[in-house]
Chain A
Amino acid sequence: MIELKCTTVGAGSFALTDLSFRVEKAEYAVVMGKTGIGKTTILETICGLRRLRAGQVWIQGVDVTRWATPDRNVGYVPQDLALFPTMTVREHLQFGMRLRRRDYRHMLQRVNEFSEILGIGHLLERNVRGLSGGEAQRVALGRALAFGPSVLLLDEPLSALDETTRLTAQTLLQEINRKTGVTVLHVTHNESEAEALADRCIRIESDAGVARVKETLRRSE
């Protein structure tokens, strides 16, 4: 579960005030809004990479507003993916688990499990340089998921993909959400993407810097 309570998020001279929304556990939420409204800033604030100017951030029923980034247990896939150029695909998937000192057998099992779901099993020993856009996307997803975060934040994850790959990736994201029960917050400006994925669609508009949020809930299946 993710909840923002009357938050002001900002970067430099830009700010969006009085932003509140709540995403329930295991829900797939899509955040929409015009370019430049601060969608990326919102995700970075939830991660703790940006300091909140006002309000509170709650994750899994805990107020994490003042918590450091590593403590928040959030899986984050930025728009530019930001893979680690010196590591192999396997090292990417293991990265979060290594930091949590998981034992070797556990890591091996998780890596196998997620590389199978993501279809990157054959790439495990490859360096991430030279991967295609779709493959890099999956590696970034695997890196964010394998350590078992409670929340997954996706910043326009499908924008760089061609139409066919995009549809496959959409199915994959939905599958991951169902299988792992991870709460997903997915930022996009693509209507059809939102239509296909969202349990909850959060549209953000800015009224002279004050956030206006419109939510639509999809019929539960």
Chain B
Amino acid sequence: MSPSPSTDAPLKQNRFRQLRDVVFFLVMGGLSASFILLIVLLLAADTLFTSPADFVTALQKPEIRAAFFLTLGSCTLAAILSLWVATPLGYILSRYQFPGRSAIDTIVDIPIVLPPLVLGLSLLILFHQPFPGSKWLFPESSWILESWFRDELKFPITYRWPAVVLAQFAVACAFAVRTMRVTFDQINPRAEDVARTLGCTRGQAFLTVALPQAWRGIIAAGTIAWARALGEFGPILVFAGSTRFKTEVLSTTVFLELSVGQLDAAVAVSLLMVVMAIVVLVILRWIGAGLSG
């Protein structure tokens, strides 16, 4: 069978096809817009609910100021700790095959899927339950993690600011690990191999070749960790409590104000958190753009 000859039929414009493209954009745009609209409406509703005067009054309350500074500090500390752990863990998960790797992969995801209250409760139990085996090892005492921190290190955890940071870290780190892992997955491991042929140890190859390529991912992971820490609520409430001037962070402020019927203050603090989140996102983007420039 010979191939069919090319046709000489005159060209005809198909207007219907163009119309279908328009429909395509309308459908895609419409579906996307629904989400954007929802978020914008939420923010608009908050803004309309409160007046600038209410906002300022709320922010002048000393307990809210204390919560603001604790939030800023604890989120930053949790994000730094998360990066410190997530970078090596993400690298190991991305580069090496070893027994138990899939188990580790699953364990990393547990804080993401666990209900927040359960995580807080688990932290509380971990710090206050006699250590299994301690009775057997030291018949006189029951070894408890919290008492060890309090008595030996003079650094109690529970119901103090370290508990806030630990609760934020437990969740934020899981997200940072995911991000760092994807980051290293996208970096060509051949460059590290070549670095090793040139005389690098694995550690040097990681520090001089892989890590400098990962800065974008590090910024992204830091941002995500910080944002997750900002939104953290359940575990903090259970593990750190919500004591004014001590362990109250902005997310718990919203809850506290709401529970005593102070809707104005709750909304003002919510808006403050929105502003903080936007400022941090913009700053980190800006740093990112500066580094790449």
Interface residues of A (CB under 8 A from B): 44, 47-49, 69-70, 72-76, 78, 80, 82-86, 95-96, 99-100, 143-144, 147
Contacts and interface: CB of A to CB of B under 8 A. Distances in A.
B197 A84 contact: no
Given A78-B190, A82-B193, 20 more contacts: A47-B193, A47-B197, A69-B193, A70-B196, A70-B197, A70-B198, A70-B200, A72-B197, A73-B199, A75-B198, A78-B194, A82-B190, A82-B194, A84-B209, A84-B212, A84-B213, A95-B195, A95-B198, A144-B197, A147-B198
Would you list the 9 A-B pairs with minimal beta carbon distance, nearest first? A82-B190, A99-B199, A86-B212, A96-B198, A76-B197, A69-B196, A82-B191, A70-B199, A82-B194
Interface string B162-192: 0000000000000000000000000010110
Contacts of A47: 193, 197
Contacts of B194: 76, 78, 82, 143
Contacts of A83: 191
Nearest to A95: B198
A92 to B, nearest CB: 10
Contacts of A48: 196-197
A186 B197 CA distance: 16
B102 interface: no
A90 to B, nearest CB: 15
B114 to A, nearest CB: 36
Contacts of A96: 198-199
A84 B191 contact: yes
A45 to B, nearest CB: 12
Given A85-B213, A86-B212, A86-B213, A80 B198 contact: no
Contacts of A100: 199
A146 B37 CA distance: 59
A80 B188 contact: yes
B166 to A, nearest CB: 34
B262 interface: no
A83 B198 CA distance: 12
Most central of A47, A48, A99, A144 by chain B CB within 10 Å: A99
A99 B190 contact: no
A49 B196 contact: yes
B208 to A, nearest CB: 8
A49 B200 CA distance: 12
Interface in B199-215: 199-201, 204, 209, 212-213
14 contacts: A48-B196, A49-B193, A70-B201, A75-B197, A80-B188, A84-B195, A85-B191, A85-B213, A95-B198, A99-B200, A144-B197, A144-B198, A147-B198, A147-B199
Interface in B10-43: none
Nearest to A143: B198
Contacts of B188: 80, 82
A72 to B, nearest CB: 7
B187 to A, nearest CB: 9
B197 to A, nearest CB: 4
A147 B213 CA distance: 23
Nearest to B204: A99
A204 B9 CA distance: 56
Nearest to B188: A82
B199 to A, nearest CB: 4
A183 to B, nearest CB: 15
Nearest to B191: A82
A74 B199 CA distance: 9
Report which residue of A74, A76, A86 has the largest number of chain B beta carbons within 10 angstroms of its beta carbon.
A86
Given A84-B209, A86-B212, A78 B193 contact: yes
Interface string B42-78: 0000000000000000000000000000000000000
Nearest to B193: A49
A70 B196 CA distance: 5
A128 to B, nearest CB: 11
B276 to A, nearest CB: 32
A209 to B, nearest CB: 24
